[in-house]
Structure 1
């Protein structure tokens, strides 16, 4: 069974960096001494094992599942079940069974925080998760583009209608700033995230720039100390803790 504060990371559409935010938030919370679980419910676009450079799956004990651990975070993902990056072609009942299994049949142990990488949009899987986890704190990830923010508004309204608390909006790919340059390039426009936060009655709590990973990194999506986004995710982790406290 899950314990601790649940943080669902949601988006209106794919491709906005929701899984990257989920993974780095979980790792940052663990770096700050918290016991953290990361559940990858992005069933059709599971990417957490690849981001964490995990090449093995969970083990079992007494008919229960032991989560995989990486970066001090306990992890479960559909990516552990589907091999060789094969497509997921399961229908609703099977997916619902997996969701229930991840919540109720994993030996999580005591947890301070559970970060859930939600599927984008407002489809069946998202509704099943909302049903099984009736109360959570939600972060909405979008890009600055007005269309992306418009679509994300639907996911935010779904959260509000199901009595989830919206902690804030996270703007990913906010701008590009070349190394050793002060000028910022707003490739995807500006203003959409602020409008989204206003419509949902919340605030824009983080803006993450586009960051080119080091090609030698084995885990290019996990930002390491010294990188441009390392401190920004540490700041986000602290803001989340302050908002929930």
Structure 2
């Protein structure tokens, strides 16, 4: 199936009278104030993709950037909990819905922010999920942002497809963990991104090691990190390697995850700043 055929098949506005050659990126409302849009995805669940998104947003905010998070994981949103945001009070202004702000000033829009109860179940089919993500782009007053991170649900389904085909992405960050199964699945995600001609900024290897709090010995619960192997096999650099860190859980449970210091993101942040300044050329030339 060609890229245009795939785009039309998944388009929520599809009708018998659609023009066969339409470009879905021209069908969405532009957001002139957003300088760089970065998707964060994973091939499977449980690798810490939302944790990476929240930590990275906090890291970039502490560097002085204006940052937002569009929570595209509609049926399993965790961004509000990780960043201490409680729902039920979404407001609207002349330019659209007003996103919540975290303590560091990160703007967040998530379906969970519409509910009083954070455990409210969202039982929707694919087209409704994809439509919600599109609305979070078009109908939210994001204002001026240096970076908008789009936290995608795991896998290669309707929502990732909608984001990769519809939003003006500057690139994708793919998160994986060291298990062989996760690496096999992350290659599927990479193949999807490349098939749709979206630039890949780099990998983040999460849960790569554990440092013993007693003796400082480095332990590998899931086997030795696979970053070098995956990078060699795919040609995509690993730009951050994160440990299993108990503070990620404790700070996330308190809604303070953005406050953690994560020097591991320094190289990734440098790449993101180059992408924002130079576009996709910063990816191909480095």
Which of the two has higher C-alpha Rg? 2
- What are the within-5 Å matches in structure 2 for residues 22-33 of structure 1? 22-33=53-64
Deviations 1:202-232 (A, max 9, x none): 111111000112858723533524xxxx322
TM-score by length of 1: 0.90
TM-score scaled by length of structure 2? 0.78
What is the CA distance between 1:190 and its match in structure 2?
A: 2.1
Q: Secondary structure of 1:232's match?
A: helix
Structure 1, gaps ≥5 residues long: none
Once superposed, which parts of structure 1, at least 4 consecutive aligned residues long, lie more than 4 Å away?
Answer: 214-217
State yes or no: 1:77 paired with 2:113: no
Residue ranges of structure 2 left out of the alignment (5+ in a row):
1-29, 278-286
Aligned with 2:91 (options 45, 53, 59): 59
**Could you tell me which of 235, 240, 245 is aligned with 2:272?**
240
Give the conservation status (yes or no) of the 8 Å contact 1:59–1:66.
Answer: yes
RMSD of aligned C-alpha atoms? Answer: 2.1
Residue 136, structure 1, aligned to residue 136, structure 2: no
Q: Is the 8 A contact 1:146 1:191 kept in 2?
A: no
> For residue 204 of structure 1, what is the aligned residue in structure 2?
238
CA contact (8 A) 2:72 2:110 kept: yes
Structure 1 residues 77-102: Cα deviation after superposition (integer angstroms, max 9, x where no partner): 12113452122111233223211211
| Residues in 2 aligned to 1:215 and 1:26: alpha-carbon distance in whole angstroms | 18
Query: Partners of 1:90 and 1:10 in 2: how far apart?
Result: 21
Match of 1:150 in 2: 184
- 1:104 paired with 2:135, answer no
Counterpart among 219, 222, 226 of residue 255 in structure 2: 219
Q: What is the rounded CA distance, in whole Å, between the counterparts of 1:5 and 1:82 in structure 2?
A: 29
1:164 aligns with 2:198: yes
Deviates most, 142-151 or 191-200: 191-200
Secondary structure of the residue that 1:210 maps to in structure 2?
Answer: coil
Secondary structure of the residue that 2:148 maps to in structure 1?
A: strand
Distance in 2 (CA, whole Å) between partners of 1:166 and 1:136 is: 9
Contact 2:209–2:225 (CA under 8 A) maintained in structure 1: no
How far 1:240 moved relative to its partner? 2.5
